[in-house]
A and B are shown apart, each in its own frame.
Chain A
Amino acid sequence: MELTMAGALNAALRDAMREDDTVVVYGEDVGRLGGVFRITDGLQAEMGPERCFDTPVAEAGIAGTAIGMALYGLRPVVEMQFDGFSYPALNQVISHVAKYRNRTRGRVGLPLVIRIPYGGGIGAVEHHSESPEAYYAHTAGLTVVSPGTPADAYALLRASIAFDDPVIFLEPKRRYWLKEDLDLPVTAAGIGEAIVRRQGSSATVIAYGPMVTTAMEAAARAAAESGWDLEVVDVRTLSPVDMGTLVASATKTGRALVVHEAARFAGYGAEIAAELSERAFGYLAAPVLRVTGFDVPYPSAKIERHFLPDADRILDAVARLLEY
């Protein structure tokens, strides 16, 4: 069955709710409307308004109430409508969601999922194209996941809902309409597992979320145009990251670069580059490079394509890696 990432996410929510009556879904406009991106389409009609419902516009409230619900034994899956509007909830996420298990010496875990559509490339107005992953990945106690394909979107969301710790689930909104042939349920991807999407030998391109498609496109063009054989690794779980898979790939190819939409400085790629240089230094023929958004506030729609990393920018970096 051909499914979009949006459809896969919707199916994951529906299947999880059918299997476990403690799973509840709520957020802004997720009920009758089915979410601004329709990820929760039809859930209220099928599961009833007690299990899928709209809230007042209050992001801290959405995250904060999810803590109370998880404390009571439910598995809330809440939606932040857009990346740029997830920040009012940061205090709840950093001060409580991330810390509750540790604070209570392991007595209270919070099995909850906060879904956030993130990233640019859809021609949106300000505050609708942010990439906040580094804020979450930097926070101990959070598990941060971002799928790059419809199959992973399904499998990772199911795994996140079943997980015993809180998960920040970052959905690459520009890939909501990406299609894949799927036989549900897909269980291929687990939390904490990166995957080699494309085997190669010339260099490793590490990507996640929206950049997985871009990295695959770059690899296909490299093979066709330059004869370079790129390996593409999809991180999938940003924290705790599966460094083993990343190190193995970088060790094999001897060259690596990290791609993300988020700004470069103190970004997620800096951590990966640092880890690779520590753990694979002897195998690297070139420094680990980063291909990222610029260190500027996300630009307006008409110029955003110059901000976003694309296959060209990745291939330019690969050329530098190979020439080093």
Chain B
Amino acid sequence: MSVEVSSAATGPSSFPGLPRAAWQDVAAEGALGAAETHDVDLSAAQLRSLYRLMVLSRRVDRQAINLTRQGALGVFASSHGQEAAQVGAVFALEAEDWLFPTYRETVGTFARGVDVVELLALFSGSWHCGFDPYQYRVAPLTTPLATQALHAVGLAMAAKMRHDPIVALTFFGDGAASEGDAHEALNLAGAFGAPVVFVVQNNGYAISVPFRLQTRTTSIALRAAGVGMPGIRVDGNDVISVYGAVKTAVDRARRGEGPTLIEAVTYRLEAHTTADDTRRYRSEEEAAEWLARDPVEGFLRVLREAALVDDAFLAEVEAEGEAAAARMRDFLFGAPAGDPREMFDHVYAQRTPQLDAQRALLDQELRAAEES
């Protein structure tokens, strides 16, 4: 914006004594560097583990969709197509590290070792979080978008204060990246040099709104520059690249060199949730394009070419997947609701007199119902 002083006597130019205005322009947009290749240190056993986890995850995901259609789960947010982004990222963590997932990261959380039946409690409706966060070092699946990113930053700050070499990894999506909490989390992590790795799964859609309507930037990773941390954009369907990028960031954080923002570009092959209808907002051609880049199929081709897997291994993994699916069916289908009186038991460490009174009221209702 220019400032103009006009006068009838001197014409439209500035008066001679006015100092010239001065400012600095920022380059139009931070730029992504050219893709560079890196050696990733993965043994044959680790590569097979990665594949196994991706296949099991996919089977679990498919079974969750089936169980939702059959009424065992109320709703489910599928990770189909995002297995490489989630499994590859989680695989870079050590046992003492912490994971802060959202409802989209059932697959990554499963890969972290959380029992699948406990994991799906949120969707089955048995309890909001069915697993013990301290047992797995995994925070509850979070639904209010990007809020868990701040929890990850806080935990990482605490670990740093206590001089514990622990890293917190948090996922969020391209939609959640617009939330204020995402911005606060990135800025705080940068300001405190907290050992956090932010993995943004850019799956192209926030339910129905495409990425191009979510932001004018071309990449979420570019935001790293705005908060003074390294940023990485990686093919989220390439599990080796995801693992390599996240491992680099995790190592950096563990060395005390602060946070990293990683954008893993991927695609949600399924709908947002089982209650969603993709035909209203995206084309089948687009989905078909991404189907051709299926992360599990792609990784299998790589492993076959390198002769790292044989039919026996693949059959073993498939059987393991079927066993997991059967377990889900057995424990989630027709699972009892639990005692409703428990809703009063965990609000506070000690049940208050008010809750005692309300629990007694519910107890009375339940007993009356049993008798009739």
* Chain A residues at the B interface, C-beta cutoff of 8 Å: 24, 50-51, 55-56, 58, 60-61, 63-74, 76, 88, 91-92, 95-96, 99-109, 140-141, 143, 164-165, 192, 240-241, 243-244
- Given the contacts A65-B150, A240-B352, A71 and B139 also touching, CB distance less than 8 Å: yes
- Whole-angstrom distance between the alpha carbons of A76 and B187 in the complex? 20
Which of B154-162, B249-257, B284-292, B363-371 lies at the binding interface? B154-162
- A61 contacts B151, C-beta separation under 8 Å: no
- Whole-angstrom distance between the alpha carbons of A74 and B157 in the complex? 11
Residues of B within 8 A of A103 (CB): 127-129, 140
Please list the 7 inter-chain residue pairs (A to B) with the smallest Cβ-Cβ separation, ordered nearest first. A68-B154, A64-B150, A65-B154, A68-B155, A61-B184, A72-B158, A240-B352
- B147 contacts A56, C-beta separation under 8 Å: no
Pick the residue among B132, B159, B188 that contacts A107 (CB under 8 A). Answer: B132
Residues of A within 8 A of B152 (CB): 68
- A105 contacts B127, C-beta separation under 8 Å: yes
Interface size on B, residues (CB 8 A): 43
Residues of B within 8 A of A56 (CB): 184, 187-188, 191
- Whole-angstrom distance between the alpha carbons of A108 and B92 in the complex? 25
- Whole-angstrom distance between the alpha carbons of A164 and B350 in the complex? 9
The yes or no answer to B8 lying at the interface (CB within 8 A) is no
Pick the residue among B147, B154, B187 that contacts A95 (CB under 8 A). Answer: B147
The yes or no answer to B349 lying at the interface (CB within 8 A) is yes
- Given the contacts A68-B156, A103-B128, A107-B134, A96 and B347 also touching, CB distance less than 8 Å: no
- A60 contacts B154, C-beta separation under 8 Å: no
Max count, chain A CB within 10 A of own CB: residue among B129, B149, B188, B348: B348
CB nearest neighbor in B for A72: B158
- Whole-angstrom distance between the alpha carbons of A243 and B354 in the complex? 9
Residues of B within 8 A of A58 (CB): 184, 187-188
Query: What would be 13 A-B contacts, judged by CB atoms less than 8 Å apart?
Result: A24-B161, A60-B150, A61-B150, A61-B188, A64-B147, A65-B157, A65-B188, A68-B151, A68-B168, A72-B158, A95-B144, A101-B348, A105-B129
A170 to nearest B CB, angstroms? Answer: 18
* Chain B residues at the A interface, C-beta cutoff of 8 Å: 127-130, 132-134, 139-140, 144, 147, 149-159, 161-162, 168, 180-181, 184-185, 187-188, 191, 342-343, 345-349, 352-355
- B154 contacts A69, C-beta separation under 8 Å: yes
Task: Kindly list 9 other residue pairs between chains A and B, CB separation below 8 angstroms, not including A65-B188, A107-B132, A240-B354.
Answer: A51-B161, A64-B151, A67-B151, A71-B133, A71-B139, A91-B147, A101-B349, A102-B343, A103-B129
- Given the contacts A68-B152, A69-B158, A71-B133, A141 and B348 also touching, CB distance less than 8 Å: yes
Pick the residue among A63, A68, A105, A192 that contacts B157 (CB under 8 A). Answer: A68
- Given the contacts A68-B151, A104-B140, A60 and B129 also touching, CB distance less than 8 Å: no
A77 to nearest B CB, angstroms? Answer: 13
Pick the residue among B128, B153, B349 that contacts A165 (CB under 8 A). Answer: B349
- Whole-angstrom distance between the alpha carbons of A70 and B161 in the complex? 13
CB nearest neighbor in A for B150: A64
- A60 contacts B140, C-beta separation under 8 Å: no
- Whole-angstrom distance between the alpha carbons of A40 and B139 in the complex? 31
B194 to nearest A CB, angstroms? Answer: 9
Residues of A within 8 A of B153 (CB): 61, 64-65, 68
How would you classify the secondary structure of chain B's contact residues: helix, strand, loop or mixed?
helix
Residues of B within 8 A of A141 (CB): 347-348
Residues of A within 8 A of B347 (CB): 101-102, 140-141
Max count, chain A CB within 10 A of own CB: residue among B147, B149, B184, B345: B184
- Given the contacts A103-B140, A141-B347, A92 and B155 also touching, CB distance less than 8 Å: no
Pick the residue among B161, B162, B184, B191 that contacts A64 (CB under 8 A). Answer: B184
- B155 contacts A164, C-beta separation under 8 Å: no
- A102 contacts B346, C-beta separation under 8 Å: yes
A160 to nearest B CB, angstroms? Answer: 13
- A108 contacts B353, C-beta separation under 8 Å: no
- Whole-angstrom distance between the alpha carbons of A102 and B355 in the complex? 13
- A64 contacts B133, C-beta separation under 8 Å: no
Pick the residue among A71, A101, A165 that contacts B154 (CB under 8 A). Answer: A71
- A60 contacts B180, C-beta separation under 8 Å: yes
- B133 contacts A107, C-beta separation under 8 Å: yes
- Whole-angstrom distance between the alpha carbons of A73 and B217 in the complex? 38
B120 to nearest A CB, angstroms? Answer: 15
- B353 contacts A243, C-beta separation under 8 Å: yes
- B157 contacts A69, C-beta separation under 8 Å: yes
Pick the residue among B147, B159, B345, B346 that contacts A92 (CB under 8 A). Answer: B147
Residues of A within 8 A of B156 (CB): 68
Residues of B within 8 A of A109 (CB): 349
Max count, chain A CB within 10 A of own CB: residue among B127, B157, B191: B157
CB nearest neighbor in B for A109: B349
- Whole-angstrom distance between the alpha carbons of A243 and B349 in the complex? 20
- B161 contacts A61, C-beta separation under 8 Å: no
Pick the residue among A64, A69, A72, A106 that contacts B185 (CB under 8 A). Answer: A64
- Whole-angstrom distance between the alpha carbons of A63 and B161 in the complex? 18
- A61 contacts B185, C-beta separation under 8 Å: yes
- Whole-angstrom distance between the alpha carbons of A91 and B147 in the complex? 8
Residues of B within 8 A of A244 (CB): 353
B263 to nearest A CB, angstroms? Answer: 21
